[in-house]
């Protein structure tokens, strides 16, 4: 069995064939799903799905691209829901920084403030973090260390294969591995995967994004975790059933469900 630890089931692209898509996932051996919180506009849809499906859970959080919405999120309301198991996806993303050097510095400072607020909420409510890091490894790592985020831990969603982040395995953080590991140009991730402690590996899709080979160009969905598990087994030279077992055990330990 497999747990998809990061799937945007509340995305409109799943509405048309939602039940069929979930059936394909179950047939592929997916036993649980985690919907990350990225934008407050989709949170009610996430709750609706979790109420309808016993094996779906959600997180509440604000993606760095949507940080201006953080004051509109009633975190206490969502964190009181029994299916709310994490805070995020939150973090730092410098990929789209624009404007003058001064504007970029201000943007980074705002992202850091919103990230810190969510770490502190996670510690207050004893929930793990779902962390998004893009082109910001050093700053994100320093914030996690400064805020003593190891106290609650979490997952580095779509782990970017940055060597600097590997030490966070000792800080109660897990590493989300998705479709990127199947890409031909994913040499950094392929090379670093064997260095990640196996008790800190979890599987994700980030659907509808980052669809694995051989389905690149299509909408991603949880059934495609099969291709991720197969590739991980190949790279680590272990049986795919062992990959399924250890990543499922890790996900349950991380999120405290099952």
pLDDT at 257 > cutoff 90: no
pLDDT at 258 > cutoff 80: no
Burial class (CB in 10 A: 0-12, 13-18, 19+), 224: buried
Average pLDDT over residues 34-39: 92
Query: What proportion of the chain, given as a percentage, has pLDDT over 90?
Result: 97
pLDDT, tens digit (0-9, with 9 covering 90-100), for 225-235: 999 999 999 99
Average pLDDT over residues 131-143: 98
Q: Report pLDDT for 89.
A: 97
Strand partners, 176: 202
- 114-125 per-residue burial string, b: 16 or more CB within 10 A, e: under 16: bbbbbbebbbeb
C-alpha to C-alpha distance for 205 and 177, rounded to whole angstroms: 8
Mean pLDDT for the chain? 97
Q: How confident is the model at residue 38 (pLDDT cuts 50, 70, 90)?
A: confident
Strand partners, 59: 86
Average pLDDT over residues 112-133: 98
Q: Report pLDDT for 192.
A: 97
Class of CATH domain 2-255: alpha beta
Handedness of CA 39, 41, 46, 51 (dihedral sign): positive
pLDDT at 203 > cutoff 90: yes
Taking alpha carbons only, the member of 185, 129, 164, 167 closest to residue 6 is 129
Average pLDDT over residues 20-35: 98
Sketch the domain layout of the chain as residue ranges.
2-255
Average pLDDT over residues 36-52: 94
pLDDT at 39 > cutoff 90: no
pLDDT, tens digit (0-9, with 9 covering 90-100), for 77-116: 999 999 999 999 999 999 989 999 999 999 999 999 999 9
pLDDT at 23 > cutoff 90: yes
What order of strands is seen across the sheet that includes strand 56-60?
2-4, 30-35, 56-60, 84-93, 129-134, 154-157, 173-177, 201-203
pLDDT at 200 > cutoff 80: yes
Average pLDDT over residues 181-199: 97
Q: How confident is the model at residue 117 (pLDDT cuts 50, 70, 90)?
A: very high
């Amino acid at each position: 069995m497999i747990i998809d630890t990061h799937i945007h089931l509340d995305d409109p692209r799943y509405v048309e064939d939602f039940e069929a898509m979930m059936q394909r996932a179950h047939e592929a051996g997916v036993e649980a799903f985690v919907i990350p919180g990225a934008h407050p506009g989709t949170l009610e849809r996430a709750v609706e799905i979790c109420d309808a499906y016993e094996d779906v859970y959600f997180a509440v959080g604000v993606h760095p691209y949507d940080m201006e919405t953080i004051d509109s999120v009633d975190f206490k309301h969502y964190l009181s829901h029994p299916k709310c198991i994490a805070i995020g996806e939150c973090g730092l993303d410098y990929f789209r920084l624009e404007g003058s050097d001064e504007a970029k510095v201000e943007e980074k400072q705002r992202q850091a403030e919103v990230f810190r607020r969510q770490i502190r909420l996670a510690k207050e409510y004893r929930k793990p973090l779902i962390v998004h890091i893009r082109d910001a490894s050093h700053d994100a790592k320093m914030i996690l260390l400064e805020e003593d985020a190891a106290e609650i831990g979490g997952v580095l969603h779509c782990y970017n294969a940055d060597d600097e982040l590997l030490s966070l395995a000792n800080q109660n953080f897990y590493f989300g591995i998705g479709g990127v590991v199947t890409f031909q140009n994913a040499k950094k991730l392929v090379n670093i995967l064997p260095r990640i402690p196996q008790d800190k590996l979890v599987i994700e899709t980030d659907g509808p994004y980052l669809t694995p080979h051989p389905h690149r160009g299509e909408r991603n969905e949880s059934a495609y975790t099969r291709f991720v598990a197969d590739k991980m087994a190949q790279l680590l030279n272990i049986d795919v059933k062992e990959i399924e077992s250890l990543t499922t055990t890790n996900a349950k330990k991380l999120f405290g469900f099952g």
